[in-house]
């Protein structure tokens, strides 16, 4: 077996030679039944017996790493997959820059590393829990399959973090691995760790927005952790990023197809005004202003996941060589940032202003800036579809001060342009910016399952190409 092929012989597929690591193998095998129980209790409801056309990783070679086949989800081969080691890899940033990458946890950074691994791990099952009921209202078998693909891979990402905990963090790693199966998204007593992962994903537009915006936070955070001087974390995250790309594809193309269905229906019925919400809704599609409100909601909830703009935790993690910047290896500076500054949007004397801060303390802000730029690339693609239909409307990301619960702007109300509002004004105008009960009810009224091959709900256009190049009529999910 080479590092790029995966050993499927044992209970836990892996490319980390688990067969020769009896202690970790036993620990993971002991954790396995609890995981399967969690999946059966909290995974996609009503579809555990369905045959789903899923991809499974058979290699970690970027060229041709996956194979597709029908699988019942509880039989999916969740495993431990690390990207190949880079020989002679050095710690790329921070005070240890240039030293050999760590193959074991450095004692002085143990608590910091454990915390980051646990937070990352916690988000993965959380998202499965949030998406648990969506299958019942899927707009097509194609979309149903994509939902389940995302779900099983988030499950695998939990395995990825649990492997690190079990292999490198001893008894407390084992306890953390157990606790990851105990917390529940939205539970008042045992919630998931980060805010956005306790929100509901009540409908498919939310699912697409979540995979566009929140999975993209996953991408940014994984890119930053892939730079880590702790080599096993770096290699784990590098392979997770390969899977993550599909999740963002699902989000970006999902929203594109919703927009396309709306624009096509408007054109066909001769409605030019995107703000003629009532008539657009009668066509069985989602009006563009409501799509904008959903984007406002998911973007702002996701920004909170970057933590405080000014953060000692982030500075310490970088200084220690544990968590880098987005694509650190492509940046051209000293990779230590001891004397550097970075502009941070802050609230100064009641006004939102750019203020220079020490670059080390501003690393969350910097990652968030990179994130916003990445989001804008996708939003431009959505707007292209609207423009192609000759409709005068543009989706716009709201100000980073809008609707925040963490960081500089948590204490104020700002509108989507960043204008600060009084509590009373905010209460009066909230429904102009965020989905109202009426908007939610309308979207919910559209959420009816469409389980016939090659058929799609009225509010979403078919995809341009099938998964694994399958033709339109392909039965992506055989519902039991």
d(CA 185, CA 188): 9
Rg, C-alpha atoms of the chain: 23
Site stretch for ligand BYC (CB under 6 A), options 22-30, 175-183, 306-314, 464-472: 306-314
Q: Which of residues 359-398 bind ligand BYC (CB under 6 A)?
A: 364
Whether 462 and 257 have beta carbons less than 8 Å apart is answered as yes
From the list 215, 243, 287, 439, which residue makes contact with ligand BYC (rule: CB under 6 A)? Answer: 215
**Closest CB to ligand BYC among 208 and 306?**
306
> Which residues lie closer than 8 Å to 188 by C-beta, 6 or more apart?
none
Closest CA to 259 of 393, 441, 442: 393
Task: State the nearest-atom distance from the C-beta of 233 to ligand BYC, in Å.
Answer: 11
Task: State the nearest-atom distance from the C-beta of 126 to ligand BYC, in Å.
Answer: 7
Binding mask 337-366 for ligand BYC (x = CB under 6 A): ---------------------------x--
| DSSP reduced 3-state for 130 | helix
From the list 176, 217, 243, 408, which residue makes contact with ligand BYC (rule: CB under 6 A)? Answer: 217
Whether 480 and 50 have beta carbons less than 8 Å apart is answered as yes
From the list 314, 412, 457, 460, which residue makes contact with ligand BYC (rule: CB under 6 A)? Answer: 314
> Which residues lie closer than 8 Å to 458 by C-beta, 6 or more apart?
261, 265, 283, 284, 285, 446
From the list 159, 169, 306, 326, which residue makes contact with ligand BYC (rule: CB under 6 A)? Answer: 306
Task: State the nearest-atom distance from the C-beta of 276 to ligand BYC, in Å.
Answer: 35
Rounded to 10 degrees, the C-alpha dihedral 402/446/380/299 comes to: 20
d(CA 231, CA 296): 37
Binding mask 137-156 for ligand BYC (x = CB under 6 A): -----------------x--
**Closest CB to ligand BYC among 263 and 317?**
317
Whether 78 and 159 have beta carbons less than 8 Å apart is answered as yes
Angle between helices 141-168 and 170-182 in degrees, nearest 10: 150
The yes or no reply on residue 313 touching ligand BYC (CB under 6 A) is: yes
**Closest CB to ligand BYC among 282 and 405?**
405
For ligand BYC (CB under 6 A), the number of binding residues is 25
DSSP designation for 328: G
From the list 123, 260, 300, 413, which residue makes contact with ligand BYC (rule: CB under 6 A)? Answer: 123
From the list 304, 328, 369, 439, which residue makes contact with ligand BYC (rule: CB under 6 A)? Answer: 304
**Closest CB to ligand BYC among 134 and 386?**
134
Which helix (H) or strand (E) segment holds residue 346: the answer is: strand 341-348
Task: State the nearest-atom distance from the C-beta of 393 to ligand BYC, in Å.
Answer: 28
The yes or no reply on residue 253 touching ligand BYC (CB under 6 A) is: no
Binding mask 80-119 for ligand BYC (x = CB under 6 A): ------------------------------------x--x
Query: 20: exposed, middle or buried (C-beta count within 10 Å: 0-12, 13-18, 19+)?
Result: exposed
Rounded to 10 degrees, the C-alpha dihedral 109/115/118/122 comes to: -150
Q: Which of residues 190-209 bind ligand BYC (CB under 6 A)?
A: 194-195
**Closest CB to ligand BYC among 116 and 162?**
116
Task: State the nearest-atom distance from the C-beta of 301 to ligand BYC, in Å.
Answer: 9
From the list 14, 149, 201, 214, which residue makes contact with ligand BYC (rule: CB under 6 A)? Answer: 214
From the list 308, 436, 454, 458, which residue makes contact with ligand BYC (rule: CB under 6 A)? Answer: 308
Task: State the nearest-atom distance from the C-beta of 208 to ligand BYC, in Å.
Answer: 13
**Closest CB to ligand BYC among 57 and 150?**
150
Per DSSP, the residues of 80-109 read B--PPPPTT-B--SSTTTTSBPBSS--GGG
Cα-flanking dihedrals φ and ψ of residue 188, to 5°? -65, -30
The yes or no reply on residue 408 touching ligand BYC (CB under 6 A) is: no
The yes or no reply on residue 127 touching ligand BYC (CB under 6 A) is: yes
**Closest CB to ligand BYC among 344 and 391?**
344
Whether 90 and 101 have beta carbons less than 8 Å apart is answered as yes
**Closest CB to ligand BYC among 127 and 256?**
127
**Closest CB to ligand BYC among 48 and 313?**
313
**Closest CB to ligand BYC among 203 and 244?**
244
> Which residues lie closer than 8 Å to 169 by C-beta, 6 or more apart?
105, 110, 114, 117, 176
Dig out the tokens for 113 from the structure: 């590393």
Match 């992962």 to its residue by tokens. 197
Closest CA to 163 of 151, 152, 155, 173: 173
Binding residues (CB under 6 A) for ligand BYC: these are 116, 119-120, 123-124, 127, 154, 194-195, 214-215, 217-218, 221, 304-308, 311, 313-314, 323, 364, 406
């Amino acid at each position: 077996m080479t590092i790029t092929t995966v050993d499927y012989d044992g209970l836990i597929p892996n490319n980390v030679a688990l067969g020769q690591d009896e202690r970790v193998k036993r620990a993971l095998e002991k954790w396995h039944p609890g995981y399967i129980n969690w999946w059966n209790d909290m995974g996609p409801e009503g579809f555990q017996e369905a045959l789903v056309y899923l991809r499974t990783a058979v290699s970690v070679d970027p060229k041709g790493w996956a194979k597709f086949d029908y699988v019942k989800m509880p039989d999916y081969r969740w495993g431990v997959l690390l990207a190949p080691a880079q020989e002679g890899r050095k710690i790329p940033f921070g005070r240890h820059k240039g030293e050999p990458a760590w193959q074991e946890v450095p004692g002085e950074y143990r608590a910091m590393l454990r915390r980051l691994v646990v937070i990352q791990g916690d988000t993965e099952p959380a998202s499965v829990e949030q998406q648990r009921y969506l299958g019942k209202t899927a707009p097509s078998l194609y979309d149903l399959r994509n939902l389940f693909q995302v779900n099983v891979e988030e499950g695998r990402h939990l395995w990825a973090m649990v492997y690190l905990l079990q292999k490198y963090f001893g008894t407390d790693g084992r306890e953390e691995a157990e606790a990851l199966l105990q917390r529940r998204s939205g539970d008042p007593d045992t919630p998931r760790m980060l805010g956005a992962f306790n929100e509901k994903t009540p409908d498919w537009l939310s699912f697409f927005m979540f995979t566009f915006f929140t999975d993209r936070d996953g991408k940014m955070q994984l890119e930053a952790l892939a730079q880590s001087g702790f080599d096993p974390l770096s290699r784990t995250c590098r392979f997770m990023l390969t899977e993550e790309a599909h999740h963002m594809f699902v989000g970006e193309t999902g929203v594109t197809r919703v927009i396309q269905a709306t624009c096509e229906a408007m054109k066909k019925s001769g409605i030019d005004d995107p703000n003629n919400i009532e008539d657009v809704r009668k066509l069985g599609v989602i009006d563009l202003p409501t799509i904008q409100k959903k984007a406002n909601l998911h973007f702002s909830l996701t920004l909170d996941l970057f933590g405080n703009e000014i953060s000692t935790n982030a500075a310490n993690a970088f200084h220690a060589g544990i968590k880098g910047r987005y694509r650190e290896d492509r940046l051209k500076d000293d990779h230590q940032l001891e004397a550097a500054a970075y502009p941070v949007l802050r609230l100064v004397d009641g006004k939102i202003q750019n203020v220079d801060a020490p670059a080390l303390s501003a690393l969350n802000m910097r990652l968030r800036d990179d994130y916003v730029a990445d989001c804008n690339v996708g939003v431009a693609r959505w707007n292209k579809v609207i423009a192609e239909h000759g409709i005068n409307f543009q989706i716009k990301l709201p100000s980073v001060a809008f609707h925040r619960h963490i960081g500089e702007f948590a204490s104020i109300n700002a509108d989507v342009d960043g204008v600060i509002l009084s509590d009373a004004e905010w209460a009066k105008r909230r429904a102009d910016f965020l989905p109202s009960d009426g908007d939610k009810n309308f979207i919910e009224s559209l959420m009816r399952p469409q389980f016939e091959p090659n058929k799609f709900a009225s509010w979403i256009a078919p995809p341009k190409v099938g998964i694994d190049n399958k033709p339109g009529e392909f039965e992506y999910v055989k519902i039991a």
